[in-house]
Amino acid sequence: MTTTPRTRPFMQIDVFSFQPFRGNPVAVVLDGTDVTDDQMQALARWTNLSETTFVLPPSTDEADYGLRIFTPQGELPFAGHPTLGSAKAWLEAGGVPQHAGRIVQECAAGLVTIRHRNNALSFAAPPRVRDGALDEAYLERITAAFGITREQVLAHQWVDNGPGWAVVQLATAHEVLDLEPDLSLIPDAMVGAIGAHPGGSEHRYEMRTFAPAVGVPEDPACGSMNAGVAQWLTASGAAPRSYRVSQGTRLGRAASIGITAEADGTVWVSGDAAVLIRGTVTL
């Protein structure tokens, strides 16, 4: 079935940075009704951003809107910076949540709660679909691709909340920033590295995430990875209940991601979101 192309409201949101053009942009089509899967994928490939999203009517009364999330090479069930960016765009376009201060997004991973307080946005980390230590064979592939030794890995874990994330923990932020990964050795990977900044720094950790499996060599700022990692580190007591992560440094970005773990174990991931482009797209 084909439909007549029409103009649809469009925004591009910069997420996870207090400085314009230093975060992770997401393209948001605010009316994805009747757009085909192929059209969605074609636009995502054309924008060439980490993610492009399409806002849709929800299929359940519990949700305020539905969302589909595409990378240049495929669809994701969930992603963090598109969640915050799409919520910001929806609000800016006049969206009114059913409950003040709380937005419910429906995506392929289920319902995701987003807090909206004093113009700040944060999402509740969805449950992980896979956790536990990586198997040694996969870890060996990752260390080879990262050009590091097995001894440099302090800890490792599946932190998969839909996209397929795995992570390795290194001793320092410096080691993370020094990585020069050969992604041809792990073309199907969704993997990150995290390391600690010196005590007293504004950010506790430096994060880098690599997603060759979906056509994103390095993501400037990744909410889903940070969500899964925070669930792991705070539950194990390896990290405090509240901290900040810097990301995107090697890409010339300045992302700042806030983590808060509540007493019931819910992890909230927060970050700034600013509308930098408004217009229409014809689909």
CATH match for 7-126+271-282 among 3.30.360.10, 3.10.310.10, 3.30.460.10, 3.40.50.150: 3.10.310.10
pLDDT at 4: 85
Question: How much is the mean pLDDT over the chain?
Answer: 97
Rounded Cα distance between 157 and 6, Å, is 45
Say if residues 104 and 95 touch (Cβ distance below 8 Å): no
pLDDT of residue 1: 54
Are 7-126+271-282 and 136-251 in the same CATH fold? yes
Topology (CATH) of 136-251: Diaminopimelate Epimerase; Chain A, domain 1 (3.10.310)
Mean predicted confidence (pLDDT) in 59-64: 98
Per residue in 71-103, pLDDT tens? Answer: 999 999 999 999 999 999 999 999 999 999 999
What mean pLDDT do residues 193-204 have? 98
Predicted pLDDT at 2: 59
Per residue in 119-165, pLDDT (tens digit) is 789 999 999 999 999 999 999 999 999 999 999 999 999 999 999 99
Its pTM stands at: 0.96
Backbone angles phi, psi at 227, to 5 degrees: -65, -50
4-42 pLDDT per residue, tens: 899 999 999 999 999 999 999 999 999 999 999 999 999
Q: What are the residue boundaries of the structural domains of the chain, listed by start?
A: 7-126+271-282, 136-251
72 burial class (0-12, 13-18, 19+ CB within 10 angstroms)? middle
Q: How far apart are CA 154 and CA 176, in angstroms?
A: 12
Residue carrying the six token digits 């669930």? 231
Is 106 annotated as catalytic?
no
